[in-house]
């Protein structure tokens, strides 16, 4: 190995294509005769479609068809019930697709969708999440396959008898992913062969789902996702757009593009479910936790069970003899929640790390010191040793770089005119996972190499990082390696999700390249004209059980200024220090960390979706109402990492980095706001109306 390729700040291979507009996204495949589809969202929160009048829509110029629940192509029953679109007249929530207009142009399709007359029979709806909702229940499992409840010792008793106690409720509202590129798909049938160009985090899964729904052999379905403009989890599973585009193409005999308008995203592609989190921390006067209780209440839709696993990080973070971490979920007449960056950890660590700050306050102890004092030697929830855990080092290094030692611990004590200034800290964690994948590595007679795998680059730099892994193993310059990704003809691999893309795909690439390198070493004379190609499949390796608890860790430090006149909170400085195994590309890694921290800043200060109780739908449906941070909101933001050498992960020694940056950011900012003002706010986001 050269040792210089892996970890180098290599530039994204497709960067020039993207900034010059040459990179093609799913809606930009201009097939001859292509038509456009536009969905009709349900205008009621719960009920049944009793009639669909398509006559006015069909009379408009350029309109080809209107698909309705009564006449749309029938699908096999999907595993994911959100994909059973136009299969029956039931309306499980407002925004559910009740018809689909198809026309020669997007404008004609939109006009037709508006001209469709839908009649409903409504039933009363309920969209309000409350702690004591009678329909709430404790699920066996929360998302990710985690047990819904973990209980050790006598948490209630230990809390009742603790010398120092903190008890608080924290609320995180529904949040939306809103990737730059809204969900879009172009579908084309050639007899019984289906090809889709779709914006997804994983084309292999899209292919198998479409094959199942349309009852086709998998090799009759081709899925192309060459470039994807972000996803943050909302493209982690196939969405209605790809199914509807394929239905519309089948009906009209034309290639059809369905680009979801942004205003349709909130109800159609998931959201982070809101959580109400009850935290109880008990400690001895020296700051050692004696009890930790984290109870999460969240919602799901009537379509499927989805349980945001927000209490799970409390099983990982701190040593305590008595632990309770549980989930309760309430099915409501709301759009289906789904994956959003660091599902579970992002809201859960907001609550836990805010409560830790409250405990530090109650103890009169420095919040960095409190965390150091509660470092566990084993993972509390499982008893497993950590493969590596450098949270303490992240906290110390962050504190040093941030200048934490100079902090006056008294809240409300730093004033600049109308501004109150404060600093805060919070920890971060995210699990390190991998799943099996397949890759080929090909040595060509001209001395170049090709690596092929159906990975997806959602903007992260996956294409580039996989080339770095290959070049490193093959010990050749980076520009001699080509990577082909984003096409279902390539060897199958799982999604860009769970922060495990690089680990999963890279593992297969690593194996294939290692095998190719040894074949080449044994080879004498020139290569055959077709070169030498090897294939690797990491089944049985990437999914093998580990005796270790494997997680990445980090620490965030924030400085905020709170305007006592306007109630505005501005973040002045944000520093994240991470321990995430071997960093494979310094440039794209930094971008992942700071991107996620920016998303955490949005979660802290501006982002929220409101379920309108009267209409049963989200009030904030576009980027004018759902406020993601703009450049002016993103101040001095810095991310860095410790060199961490963990031999228990994968051949690269990497942990996932896509999500950990958002974990704990909002707590660090909230804790800084408390330090600035002396007031605890326990509901996000920290908008001026709450601050004043």
For residues 331 and 344, which CB has a smaller minimum distance to ligand MOS in the complex? Answer: 344
Element (H, E) at 71: none
Helix (H, G, I), strand (E, B) or coil at 689: helix
Q: Which of 101, 311, 340, 663 binds ligand MOS (CB under 6 A)?
A: 340
Which residues, in sequence order, are bridge partners of residue 295? Answer: 278, 326
Q: What's the token pair of residue 595?
A: 């991107």
For residues 7 and 233, which CB has a smaller minimum distance to ligand MOS in the complex? Answer: 233
Phi then psi dihedrals of residue 626, to 5 deg? -95, 110
Round to whole Å and give the CA distance between 102 and 38: 7
Strand ordering across the sheet containing 97-103: 63-67, 97-103, 35-41, 256-259, 184-190, 193-198, 221-224
Cα 425 off chain centre by = 23
Q: Which of 92, 343, 491, 595 binds ligand MOS (CB under 6 A)?
A: 343
Answer whether the bond into residue 411 is a cis peptide, omega within 30°. no
Exposure b/e, 624-643, CB count within 10 A at least 16 = b? eebbbbeeeebbebbbbbbe
Strand ordering across the sheet containing 47-53: 90-91, 47-53, 117-122
Round to whole Å and give the CA distance between 145 and 344: 12
Q: What's the token pair of residue 118?
A: 């839908």
For residues 195 and 454, which CB has a smaller minimum distance to ligand MOS in the complex? Answer: 454
Q: Give residue for tokens 């702690």.
A: 131
Q: Which stretch binds ligand MOS (CB under 6 A): 24-32, 167-175, 237-245, 333-341?
A: 333-341
Round to whole Å and give the CA distance between 299 and 334: 8
**325 near ligand MOS (CB under 6 A):** no
Measured in residues, the chain has a length of 692
The distance between the two most distant Cα atoms of the chain, rounded to a whole number of Å, is 78
Taking the complex as a whole, how short is the minimal distance between the CB of residue 434 and ligand MOS, in angstroms? Answer: 13
Cα 531 off chain centre by = 39
| Catalytic residue status for 308 | no
For residues 500 and 536, which CB has a smaller minimum distance to ligand MOS in the complex? Answer: 500
For residues 497 and 629, which CB has a smaller minimum distance to ligand MOS in the complex? Answer: 497
Q: Is the dihedral of CA 310, 312, 316, 321 positive or negative?
A: positive
Helix (H, G, I), strand (E, B) or coil at 531: coil
Element (H, E) at 421: strand 419-431
Taking the complex as a whole, how short is the minimal distance between the CB of residue 343 and ligand MOS, in angstroms? Answer: 5
How many residues at the interface with ligand MOS, by CB under 6 A?
9
Q: What string of DSSP letters covers 91-151? A: E-STT-EEEEEEESSHHHHHHHHHH-EEEEEE--------TT-TT-B--SEEGGGEES-EE
Taking the complex as a whole, how short is the minimal distance between the CB of residue 458 and ligand MOS, in angstroms? Answer: 8
Closest residue by beta carbon to ligand MOS: 233
Q: Which stretch binds ligand MOS (CB under 6 A): 301-309, 336-344, 502-510, 558-566?
A: 336-344
**498 near ligand MOS (CB under 6 A):** yes
Which runs of consecutive H residues, i.e. helices, occur in 366-477?
367-373, 391-402, 462-474
Helix (H, G, I), strand (E, B) or coil at 248: helix
Cα 273 off chain centre by = 12
Q: What's the token pair of residue 53?
A: 């009048």
**341 near ligand MOS (CB under 6 A):** yes
Taking the complex as a whole, how short is the minimal distance between the CB of residue 470 and ligand MOS, in angstroms? Answer: 24
Round to whole Å and give the CA distance between 412 and 503: 45
**497 near ligand MOS (CB under 6 A):** yes
Taking the complex as a whole, how short is the minimal distance between the CB of residue 234 and ligand MOS, in angstroms? Answer: 8
Q: Which stretch binds ligand MOS (CB under 6 A): 41-49, 321-329, 335-343, 679-687?
A: 335-343
Pick the catalytic residue: 353, 397, 644, 659?
659
For residues 235 and 278, which CB has a smaller minimum distance to ligand MOS in the complex? Answer: 235
For residues 374 and 456, which CB has a smaller minimum distance to ligand MOS in the complex? Answer: 456
Q: Which of 120, 306, 339, 641 binds ligand MOS (CB under 6 A)?
A: 339
**Which positions ≥6 away from 407 have C-beta within 8 Å?**
423
Other beta carbons within 10 Å of 364 = 10
Taking the complex as a whole, how short is the minimal distance between the CB of residue 345 and ligand MOS, in angstroms? Answer: 10
For residues 276 and 342, which CB has a smaller minimum distance to ligand MOS in the complex? Answer: 342
Taking the complex as a whole, how short is the minimal distance between the CB of residue 225 and ligand MOS, in angstroms? Answer: 14
Compute and round to an integer the Cα radius of gyration of the chain.
26
For residues 195 and 338, which CB has a smaller minimum distance to ligand MOS in the complex? Answer: 338
For residues 338 and 585, which CB has a smaller minimum distance to ligand MOS in the complex? Answer: 338
Which residues, in sequence order, are bridge partners of residue 421? Answer: 561
Taking the complex as a whole, how short is the minimal distance between the CB of residue 656 and ligand MOS, in angstroms? Answer: 9
Q: Which of 39, 148, 236, 600 binds ligand MOS (CB under 6 A)?
A: 236
For residues 342 and 668, which CB has a smaller minimum distance to ligand MOS in the complex? Answer: 342
Phi then psi dihedrals of residue 505, to 5 deg? -70, -45
Taking the complex as a whole, how short is the minimal distance between the CB of residue 679 and ligand MOS, in angstroms? Answer: 32
Taking the complex as a whole, how short is the minimal distance between the CB of residue 215 and ligand MOS, in angstroms? Answer: 28
Taking the complex as a whole, how short is the minimal distance between the CB of residue 554 and ligand MOS, in angstroms? Answer: 17
Q: What's the token pair of residue 165?
A: 């106690």
Q: Which of 54, 143, 195, 201 binds ligand MOS (CB under 6 A)?
A: 201
Q: Which residue in 447, 623, 628 sits closest to 520, CA to CA?
A: 447
Binding site for ligand MOS (CB under 6 A): 201, 233, 236, 339-341, 343, 497-498
Residues acting as catalytic residues: 659
């Amino acid at each position: 190995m050269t040792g210089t390729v892996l970890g180098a700040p290599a530039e994204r291979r497709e960067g020039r294509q993207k900034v010059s507009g040459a990179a093609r996204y799913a809606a930009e495949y201009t097939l001859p005769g292509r038509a456009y589809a536009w969905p009709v969202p349900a205008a009621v929160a719960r009920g049944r479609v009793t009639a669909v009048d398509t006559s006015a829509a069909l009379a408009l110029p350029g309109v080809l068809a209107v698909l309705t629940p009564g006449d749309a192509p029938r699908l096999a029953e999907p595993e994911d019930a959100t994909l059973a679109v136009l299969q029956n007249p039931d309306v499980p929530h407002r925004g559910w697709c009740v018809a689909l207009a198809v026309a020669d142009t997007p404008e004609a399709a939109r006009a037709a969708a508006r001209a469709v007359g839908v009649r409903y029979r409504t039933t009363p709806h309920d969209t309000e999440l409350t702690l004591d909702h009678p329909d709430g229940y404790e699920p066996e499992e929360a998302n990710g396959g985690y047990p819904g409840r973990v209980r050790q010792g006598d948490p209630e008793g230990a809390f009742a008898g603790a010398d120092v106690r903190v008890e608080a409720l924290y609320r995180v509202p529904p949040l939306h992913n809103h990737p730059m590129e809204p969900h879009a798909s172009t579908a084309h049938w050639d007899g019984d062969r289906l090809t889709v160009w779709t914006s997804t985090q994983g084309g292999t899964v899209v292919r198998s789902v479409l094959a199942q729904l349309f009852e086709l052999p998998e090799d009759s379905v081709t899925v192309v996702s060459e470039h994807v403009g972000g996803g943050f989890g909302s493209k982690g599973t196939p969405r209605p757009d790809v199914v509807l585009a394929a239905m519309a193409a089948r009906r009209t005999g034309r290639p059809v593009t369905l680009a979801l308008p942004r205003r349709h995203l909130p109800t159609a592609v998931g959201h982070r479910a809101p959580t109400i989190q009850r935290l109880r921390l008990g400690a001895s006067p020296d700051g050692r936790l004696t009890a930790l209780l984290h109870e999460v209440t969240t919602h799901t839709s009537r379509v499927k069970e989805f349980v945001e696993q927000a209490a799970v990080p409390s099983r990982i973070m701190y040593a305590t003899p008595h632990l309770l971490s549980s989930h309760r979920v309430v099915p409501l007449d709301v759009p289906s929640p789904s994956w959003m960056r660091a599902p579970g950890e992002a809201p859960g660590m907001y609550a836990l790390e805010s409560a830790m700050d409250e405990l530090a306050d109650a103890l009169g102890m420095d919040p960095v010191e409190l965390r150091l004092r509660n470092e566990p030697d084993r993972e509390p929830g499982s008893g497993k040793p950590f493969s590596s855990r450098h949270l303490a080092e992240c906290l110390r290094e962050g504190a040093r770089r941030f200048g934490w030692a100079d902090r006056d611990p008294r809240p409300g004590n730093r004033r600049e005119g109308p501004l109150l200034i404060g600093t805060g800290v919070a920890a971060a964690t995210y699990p390190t996972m991998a799943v099996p994948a397949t890759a080929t590595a090909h040595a060509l007679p001209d001395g170049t190499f090709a690596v092929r795998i159906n990975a997806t680059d959602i903007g992260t730099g996956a294409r580039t990082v996989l080339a770095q892994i290959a070049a490193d193993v093959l010990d050749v310059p980076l520009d001699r390696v080509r990577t082909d990704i984003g096409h279902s003809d390539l060897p199958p691999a799982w999604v860009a999700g769970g922060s495990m893309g690089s680990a999963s795909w890279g593992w297969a690439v690593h194996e294939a390249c290692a095998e190719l390198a040894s074949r080449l070493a044994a080879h004498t004379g020139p290569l055959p004209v077709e070169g030498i190609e090897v294939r690797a499949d990491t089944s049985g390796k990437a999914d093998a059980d580990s005796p270790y608890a494997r997680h990445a860790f980090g620490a965030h430090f924030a400085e905020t200024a709170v305007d006592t006149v306007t109630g505005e909170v501005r973040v002045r400085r944000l520093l994240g220090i991470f321990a995430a195994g071997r960093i494979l590309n310094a440039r794209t890694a930094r971008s992942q960390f700071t991107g996620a921290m920016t998303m955490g800043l949005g979660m802290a200060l501006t982002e929220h979706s409101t379920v309108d109780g009267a209409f049963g739908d989200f009030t904030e449906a576009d980027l004018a109402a759902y406020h993601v941070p703009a450049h002016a909101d993103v101040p001095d933001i810095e991310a860095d990492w410790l060199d961490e050498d963990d031999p228990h992960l994968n051949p690269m020694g990497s942990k996932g980095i896509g999500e950990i940056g958002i974990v704990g950011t909002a707590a660090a900012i909230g804790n800084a706001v408390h330090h600035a003002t002396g007031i605890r706010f326990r509901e996000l986001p920290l908008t001026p109306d709450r601050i004043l």
